[in-house]
Amino acid sequence: MRKLSVFNSVSLDGYFSDADGEMGWAYAGGDDPEWQAFVAGNAEGGGALLLGRVTYDMMAAFWPTPQAHATMPAVAAGMNRMQKYVASRPLTEPGWQNTTVLAGDLVAAVAALKASDGPDIAILGSGQITAQLAAAGQIDIYQFVTCPVALGAGRTLFDGLQNPLSLRLVRSRAFRNGKVFSEYACG
C-alpha cells in the first residue's frame, strides 16, 4: 500500500501562506548549501505528487521553464519527471507532463491511489486538500519545514479540522539558514 505524506513550509506561528495567500517568505535562506542539498535530495527521491489546482497552476507555470532548469536543475528535473495528480473539477487537459486529473470525490480517489501499485505520494502546498485528507485520516506522514518568520495572519494547513490529530515525531533536522525540518507519523 502506498503512503501519503504532506510536505509544507510553515511560519513560526503556524501559517503555510500569508494573509494574501503568498508563500514567498518560505524561500528565504535558499542560499544555504546544506539546505540546497536537502531540497535537491528530496526531488531526486522519486515518488508521485498530489496537488490542488492553485498549487498545480503555480508549479506548472515554473518547473517546466528554462529559468527553473537554470536556477535549480536537479529539482526541476525531479518535478518534471514525477507522476503528478491534480485535484480539480474544472481542469480537463493538464499542460504539465505526467499529470493525471482527479475530478471526482477526492477522499475516494486518494484511497484508491493508496491501494494501487506505485510509488508513495506527497502533497505539496495545497492547503485545502491537506485539511480534507487529514480529516479523513488519509495522510500517513506530515513533514514540515518551520521557517524563522512570524506572519501574524494567514492560512493554516488544518483549517476546518474537527478533531485533533495525534502525531509522533519521527525525525528532525536544523539548518544553518534557521529552517527546521520535522517529520511526524500518525499515532
Q: Of the candidates 123, 107, 111, 116, which has an alpha carbon nearest to the alpha carbon of residue 49?
A: 123
Domain boundaries, the chain: 4-186
How many Å separate Cα 88 from the centre of its chain? Answer: 16
The pLDDT of residue 105? 92
pLDDT tens, position by position, 25-52: 988 888 888 988 888 777 666 789 999 8
Contact between 3 and 120 (Cβ < 8 Å): yes
Cα Rg for the chain, rounded, in angstroms?
16
Grid cell locating 137: 485520516
Contact between 105 and 146 (Cβ < 8 Å): no
- The pTM of this model reads 0.89
Please tell us whether the domain made up of 4-186 is placed in CATH 3.40.430.10: yes
pLDDT above 70: percentage of residues in the chain = 98
Residue 68, pLDDT > 80, answer yes
Q: What is the mean pLDDT of residues 95-101?
A: 91
Residue 58, pLDDT > 70, answer yes
Q: What is the mean pLDDT of residues 63-84?
A: 90
Distance separating alpha carbons of residues 130 and 136, to the nearest angstrom: 10
How confident is the prediction for the chain on average, in pLDDT? Answer: 90
pLDDT above 90: percentage of residues in the chain = 58
Element (H, E) at 21: none
Q: What is the mean pLDDT of residues 100-127?
A: 92
Residue 121, pLDDT > 80, answer yes
